[in-house]
Structure 1
Amino acid sequence: MTILLLGSGGREHALAWKMLQSPKCSKLFVAPGNAGTAQIATNCSLDILDFDSIKSLVLQEKVEMVVVGPEDPLVQGIYDFFKNDETLKNIPVIGPSKVGAQLEGSKEFAKEFLIRHHIPTAAYDSFTAATVEKGYEFLETLQPPYVLKADGLAAGKGVLIIQDLAEAKEELRNMLVHAKFGKASKKVVIEEFLDGIELSCFVLTDGKNYKMLPTAKDYKRIGEGDTGLNTGGMGAISPVPFADAILLEKIETRIVKPTIEGFQKDGIEYKGFVFIGLIIVKGEPIVIEYNVRMGDPETEVVIPRLKSDLVELFQAVADEKLDEVTLDIDERSATTIMVVSGGYPEDYEKGKVILGIEKVADSIVFHAGTKLENGQVVSNGGRVLAVTSFGENFQEAIKKSYQNIDKLHFDKMYFRKDIGKDLDNS
């Protein structure tokens, strides 16, 4: 089977790496891909939001399946574009419909879905520039800290958590009136703050049946001790040590099942990944957000733990026969550490030559922000490489990742040295 994978990050390199292990995958195109995918698949320099160009490639190369890595093409409706095109409608797209993708594309849509299907989530309300004064009044009813979320897509950066009421009001005005996050903050959701420990739950669904993938925990802050600015993620661990059988059962019965049943009740076409961001408060799971694709860097620890054939799983999703396949998981722990450009998540330089990848042993290097330039691998983003390792426990796996990071070098390279330290006693 010829497959097209859309995206260019560590998530896509991990998906490509896994799909190419399947005897069912004869050729893999990645658009636009990175230096890592270039070494194992065929990169195509396509704009993943230019659906007509994607159509041309699919027809020209006789692509038989499209796997969507990031959220943007899903929110823009690539699933529907294929479904409604006579020449494309029989080619499965792994990812939800445009309506399904609103679970990530609109915080308000997601909140309304959660409330409607009685899925535990924080109290909230939403506001626009016209109702900013009502927003101030709602803030006054809450206890600090105050959580403000841009309703639309803001590349993972549209959430503010503020301790001071006056500052929260000022930021609400900045978002709504002064378009702090552009169009994404035309509407803002204000949410009750929940204090607990976060956990990522991943589900693969054909819209009716589902498989729960391994849990993971990622680390968002740039600085050690979870300090500093939010990033796309500085590292991840799977499985999560505190996610025992009791908690997993609560997550499945209270959150996963009602979510998939909600798709059916609401007539939402959904064939792909559901990433459920959870917070565990006093042992009870509560939904913070939905994403409609795999997380990054969580993909780099969840996908390597799959022993099952990923292409076979995707085919079962397309055929609505996910209940007929089994999910086989590696019992070992997997960890990944992100190596990033100096200055990230703010201003950083690209084009730094990366040395030492070939010296890495007993770990997998997934490329995130890289490209090939004159035969050399150079940095091409904020998050550059993810170093993934296995171990009998996460401490052993983390140690391997750090040992291998010591073999890597590029100018101003940075990584957190405390990934997993918070879980040592869990």
Structure 2
Amino acid sequence: MNILLLGSGGREHALAWRMARSPHLSQLFIAPGNPGMSLYGTCLPRIGVTDFAAIADLIRREQIKLLVVGPEVPLVEGIADYLREEAGLKDLLIVGPDARGAQLEGSKDFSKAFMQRYGIPTAGYKTFGRQSYDEAVDYLKTLRPPYVLKADGLAAGKGVIISEDLEEAQRELRELLTGRFGEASTRVVIEEYLHGIECSVFIATDGHGWRILPVAKDYKRIGEGDTGPNTGGMGSVSPVIFADETFMKKVEERVVRPTIEGLRSEGIDYRGFIFAGLMNVGGDPYVIEYNCRMGDPETESVMLRIDSDFVELLERMASGELGDYQLEESTKYAATVVLVSEGYPGTYAKGKPISYPHEPTFDSALFHAGTARDTSGHLMTSGGRVLTASCLGSTLEEALERCYKLADQVHFEGKALRRDIGQDLLKLS
């Protein structure tokens, strides 16, 4: 089976790495891809993830049977809807929801209202537009700190602000509503703050049934001890010690089941991944947010722990035939440490030469996130998040030790990383 994977980051590299191990795969095409992904398929750097016409032409030309959409933007912009209307593509299998389903991520207000409609536990909230600044401030004053502000639309993982100070929260609110993230923050969701510990749950669904993938935990803040501004993610680990059988039973009954049934009741044929960012509050799961795709950098850890045929899972999801698929996951621990450019998530330099020790193996990988080759073919930095070191281990300590050993063998000017990934979970063990 010929497969097209859309995306160019660490998430997509990890997906390609896992897909390449399947006997169901004939040829893998990746648009636009990155230098590391060329080990597994044909990268097409001139085709962007929102160039729908070029993607449709590629699907016809290469006789693609299955499309896997990695990032959220093409899903929110309606790539699934577009391709289903294209001539000759009615039999194309797509992993990823249509534009309506993608609103779970595309609009924080939509997702919060959805959770309220179906009794899915989440923090209390209100949504405010540009003309409602005074009302929003009044609502902030009714809450206890910390104050949580979220841009309604897509903001590349940086649209959430948590402030301990009311005056600071008011300033941040004004900046959001006056266009810090463009159209994405013309409306702002203000939430009650939930006290607890987070984890990431990934749901693979064919619109009816579901499988819960290995649970992970990510680390968003740039600084050690979870300090500084949010980033796209600085590391992840899997499994998560507190996500035990009792907790996950609550997750399935209180979050997963009503989410899938709610989508069906609204006429949304959702075939793809749902990320549920959860907060464990005294042993009970609360949904912080949904994503309409796999998360990054959690995917890098999750893919290392899936032992069953991943392409078979993707095909069954897209065809609506999840049926009796047996998801097998490793009993080992996985960890991921992200190597970033100096200055990230603010201004950073690009074009720094990179050297690193080895190609990916079955239990250790360097997934590319922000890399490119110069005109001479040398590997260079091209983004804020550059590479992720991802490793398996018999224990979390071993997985982390292997990750940091691998990370220390990567060299580029200005390399930065967090040295405390997973330490909070080690203290719980």
> Normalized against structure 1, the TM-score is what?
0.97
Paired letter, 1:408: V
Q: Which residue pairs with 2:369 in the alignment?
A: 368
SS in 2 for 1:259: helix
User: For the Cα contact (< 8 Å) 1:357–1:365, is it kept in 2?
Assistant: no
- Aligned-pair CA distance for 1:360: 8.0
> Normalized against structure 2, the TM-score is what?
0.97
Tell me, in whole angstroms, the C-alpha distance in 1 between the residues paired with 2:264 and 2:9. Answer: 32
1:118-133 map, 5 Å: 118-133=119-134
Deviations 1:59-104 (A, max 9, x none): 1111111100000000000111112223212101100110000000
Tell me, in whole angstroms, the C-alpha distance in 1 between the residues paired with 2:290 and 2:418. Answer: 26
Tell me, in whole angstroms, the C-alpha distance in 2 between the residues paired with 1:278 and 1:318. Answer: 25
Higher alpha-carbon deviation: 352-361 or 9-18: 352-361
Q: Which residue pairs with 2:41 in the alignment?
A: 41
User: For the Cα contact (< 8 Å) 1:369–1:384, is it kept in 2?
Assistant: yes
Q: Which residue pairs with 2:404 in the alignment?
A: 402
- Aligned-pair CA distance for 1:254: 0.6
- Aligned-pair CA distance for 1:183: 0.7
Tell me, in whole angstroms, the C-alpha distance in 2 between the residues paired with 1:175 and 1:414. Answer: 28
Q: Which residue pairs with 2:334 in the alignment?
A: 334
Q: Which residue pairs with 1:98 in the alignment?
A: 99
User: For the Cα contact (< 8 Å) 2:204–2:273, is it kept in 1?
Assistant: yes
Structure 2 unmatched runs, 5+: none
CA 324–359 in structure 1, closer or farther in 2 if over 3 Å, else same: closer
Paired letter, 1:291: N
Tell me, in whole angstroms, the C-alpha distance in 1 between the residues paired with 2:354 and 2:169. Answer: 42
SS in 2 for 1:323: coil
User: For the Cα contact (< 8 Å) 2:359–2:366, is it kept in 1?
Assistant: no
CA 375–170 in structure 1, closer or farther in 2 if over 3 Å, else same: closer
Q: Which residue pairs with 2:157 in the alignment?
A: 156
User: For the Cα contact (< 8 Å) 1:22–1:310, is it kept in 2?
Assistant: yes
Q: Which residue pairs with 1:348 in the alignment?
A: 348
Structure 1 unmatched runs, 5+: none
Paired letter, 2:115: L
Q: Which residue pairs with 1:203 in the alignment?
A: 203
Number of aligned pairs?
A: 425
Paired letter, 2:293: R
User: For the Cα contact (< 8 Å) 1:64–1:92, is it kept in 2?
Assistant: yes
CA 90–197 in structure 1, closer or farther in 2 if over 3 Å, else same: same
- Aligned-pair CA distance for 1:171: 2.1
- Aligned-pair CA distance for 1:363: 2.0
1:24-423 map, 5 Å: 24-45=24-45, 46-176=47-177, 178-358=178-358, 363-373=364-374, 374-423=376-425
Tell me, in whole angstroms, the C-alpha distance in 2 between the residues paired with 1:70 and 1:360. Answer: 22
User: For the Cα contact (< 8 Å) 1:359–1:407, is it kept in 2?
Assistant: no
Deviations 1:195-245 (A, max 9, x none): 110110000000111000010001111111111111111110000111111
- Aligned-pair CA distance for 1:359: 8.0
SS in 2 for 1:425: helix
SS in 2 for 1:203: strand
- Aligned-pair CA distance for 1:300: 0.4
User: For the Cα contact (< 8 Å) 2:200–2:215, is it kept in 1?
Assistant: yes
RMSD: 1.2
Tell me, in whole angstroms, the C-alpha distance in 1 between the residues paired with 2:231 and 2:168. Answer: 22
Tell me, in whole angstroms, the C-alpha distance in 2 between the residues paired with 1:352 and 1:131. Answer: 45
Q: Which residue pairs with 2:3 in the alignment?
A: 3
Paired letter, 2:289: E
Tell me, in whole angstroms, the C-alpha distance in 1 between the residues paired with 2:336 and 2:326. Answer: 26
Higher alpha-carbon deviation: 128-137 or 114-123: 128-137
User: For the Cα contact (< 8 Å) 2:304–2:391, is it kept in 1?
Assistant: no
Deviations 1:137-183 (A, max 9, x none): 2112111111111100011111111122222223222222x212111
- Aligned-pair CA distance for 1:328: 0.7
User: For the Cα contact (< 8 Å) 1:360–1:407, is it kept in 2?
Assistant: no
Tell me, in whole angstroms, the C-alpha distance in 2 between the residues paired with 1:23 and 1:199. Answer: 32
Paired letter, 2:12: E
Tell me, in whole angstroms, the C-alpha distance in 2 between the residues paired with 1:400 and 1:296. Answer: 20
Tell me, in whole angstroms, the C-alpha distance in 2 between the residues paired with 1:229 and 1:166. Answer: 18
Higher alpha-carbon deviation: 25-34 or 80-89: 80-89
- Aligned-pair CA distance for 1:266: 1.0
Paired letter, 1:99: R
Tell me, in whole angstroms, the C-alpha distance in 1 between the residues paired with 2:368 and 2:40. Answer: 12
SS in 2 for 1:262: helix
Deviations 1:341-368 (A, max 9, x none): 1111111111111112328886211111
Tell me, in whole angstroms, the C-alpha distance in 2 between the residues paired with 1:380 and 1:190. Answer: 34
SS in 1 for 2:313: helix
Question: Between the two proteins, what is the percent identity of the paired residues?
Answer: 52
SS in 1 for 2:316: helix
